[in-house]
Amino acid sequence: MSKLTSLTLTDAADLLKSRKISSVELTDAYLDNIEKNDPDISAYITVCRESASLSALSADNAINCGEFSPLTGIPYALKDNLCTSGIHTTCASKMLKDFIPPYNATVYDTLLKENAVLLGKTNMDEFSMGSSTENSFFGRTKNPIDTSRIPGGSSGGSAAAVAANEALFALGSDTGGSVRQPAALCGVVAMNPTYGAISRYGLIAFASSLDRVGTITKNVKDNAYLLSRLCKKDEKDSTNIGITQDLLLGIDSGVSNMHLAVIEDLLSHASEDVKNAVLSSARTLEKLGATVDMISFSDIELALSAYYIISSAEASSNLARYDGIRYGERFDNSDSLEEYFKASRSNALGDEVKRRIIIGTQLLTGEFREKYYKKALSAKQRIKESFLDIFKKYDAILSPTYPTVAPKADDLSSSSVYENDIMTVPQSVAGIPSLTLPCSLDKNGLPIGIQISGAPFSEQTLYRIGYALESEVYLR
């Protein structure tokens, strides 16, 4: 059984297609792993044991009838902010703890059409606000590599599920680093694709101009394989560009003649171990034929400011719908409507969510709107232009994904949580794609992630670089 759960996505797909293994066997192996390991890790909020077994049976029937799509019969997990008709979708919040969506997110529909097998819905920071998966109404997720440490967040459940062999792949969402950070801290691979590459229809919104659906897998090739299936035009999301491409094409062509750059300013925020790992990876890529320069990017702090202003402001607007009438707990002892809304929101939203909503409201009020919010929107555009200037000269840039290895749960202060976002937020604000993969281990065996970012819709190039690096330093 354990051999089945150590298969990669592409290998499992080949074995399923040739009927050397069945989806029922593969799914059972994952369900057994969940039963055995998840009580210690808490990667899942909901496990769909019965429906997963039925889906696996139906996938096997489809394969026997010659109907095979690349993800048929593959067991996977979804972050609990992606709507699944008939299955609880909670956003890890008391406000939505009983919510069962009447419709599917487009990514889930795509996976249903491919006959992939949903194992369950994964834990997260409430409404994706946080980067440790500690701010969940359902309790915190632990890092499978060392359970005294955080898995990162907000898609910590999705990354932990893949790292602990509790899912063959998982989808998360990334607003300021939410798939990349947990992937780096749990030692798996994640892609935050170009804004507009994957449909966001059915992704419960945190900050709409920054939110993206991201892919988490065990290796780079699997990630390219998966993302190729998810990038397609969806008329239900007006920000979706709909470029379809085979991202596996040329993945093993190497990095000869590629021009890469390391962002020096970001290295200065990283620990010695992380800095050395990134520089060593850069040297490996040089040996493989790429040229690597050190460059400066002075807008990093500006990006962090713009991110916190825009995300808080958009969150305050997006979360206004949670009024206790359509969703959430009822606190039905108020005489006035205003008191009713206040009682429901105050009781059913977590502290971090309430803080961000109040700060976001302040930033949209009176003079603060002009002084901060409007300026943050201009800063966002400036940061995007700065990145595009870099990509006129370079194919991709290299940087750490997280300043340190996974911190101990008790070591995180609220200010360090924000500072830790500095590696991933600039790319989020610019809307550009970023791939993270493990590039080294520290002396305690904890993974260190490297982030490879490129121009909009350069995912194919990023996978090519990631694959070349992974082939040299493969750690799993």
Q: Does 381 bind other proteins (CB under 8 A)?
A: yes
396-400 sheet: strands from edge to edge: 44-47, 117-122, 75-79, 169-174, 212-217, 189-192, 434-441, 447-453, 396-400, 259-263, 291-295
CB of 206 to other proteins, least distance (A): 15
Q: Which is nearer to other proteins, 170 or 310 (CB)?
A: 310
Q: Does 389 bind other proteins (CB under 8 A)?
A: no
Q: Which is nearer to other proteins, 259 or 382 (CB)?
A: 382
Stretch that binds other proteins, among 156-164, 244-252, 268-276, 299-307 (CB under 8 A): 299-307
CA-CA distance, 10 to 397, in Å (whole number)?
27
Number of residues written out for the chain: 476
Q: Which is nearer to other proteins, 50 or 335 (CB)?
A: 335
The one-letter amino acid at 349: L
Q: Does 66 bind other proteins (CB under 8 A)?
A: no
Of the candidate residues 8, 208, 239, 471, the single one contacting other proteins (CB under 8 A) = 239
Could you give the 3-state DSSP secondary structure of residue 440?
strand
Alpha-carbon torsion (88, 94, 96, 99), positive or negative: positive
Of the candidate residues 2, 257, 336, 413, the single one contacting other proteins (CB under 8 A) = 336
Of the candidate residues 147, 382, 441, 471, the single one contacting other proteins (CB under 8 A) = 382
Of the candidate residues 361, 386, 409, 457, the single one contacting other proteins (CB under 8 A) = 361
Q: Which is nearer to other proteins, 271 or 361 (CB)?
A: 361
CA-CA distance, 421 to 221, in Å (whole number)?
26
Q: What are phi and psi of 55, to 5 degrees?
A: -65, -40
Residues in 101-140 at the binding interface with other proteins, rule: CB under 8 A: 102-103
CB of 330 to other proteins, least distance (A): 5
Of the candidate residues 99, 112, 208, 412, the single one contacting other proteins (CB under 8 A) = 99
Q: Does 349 bind other proteins (CB under 8 A)?
A: yes
**Tokens coding 58:** 């139906």
- Print burial letters for 462-476: b (CB count within 10 Å at least 16), e (below 16): bbbbbbbbbeebeee
Q: Does 321 bind other proteins (CB under 8 A)?
A: no
Show the binding pattern over residues 150-189: x = contacts other proteins (CB under 8 A), - = does not: ----------------------------------------
- Taking CA atoms, 208 is separated from 162, 218, 466, in Å, by 26, 28, 28
- Taking CA atoms, 448 is separated from 30, 334, 375, 404, 456, in Å, by 26, 51, 35, 8, 25
Q: Does 385 bind other proteins (CB under 8 A)?
A: yes
- The residue written with tokens 């969703």 in the block is 327
Stretch that binds other proteins, among 24-32, 178-186, 234-242, 244-252 (CB under 8 A): 234-242
Residues acting as catalytic residues: 79, 154, 178
Number of residues that bind other proteins (CB under 8 A): 66
CA-CA distance, 44 to 169, in Å (whole number)?
14
CA-CA distance, 117 to 37, in Å (whole number)?
19
Residue 197 DSSP code: S
Q: For binding to other proteins (CB under 8 A), which residues are involved? A: 98-100, 102-103, 235-236, 238-239, 301-302, 304-306, 308-309, 316, 320, 323-327, 330, 332-343, 345-346, 349, 354-355, 357-362, 365-368, 371-372, 374-382, 385, 414-415, 418
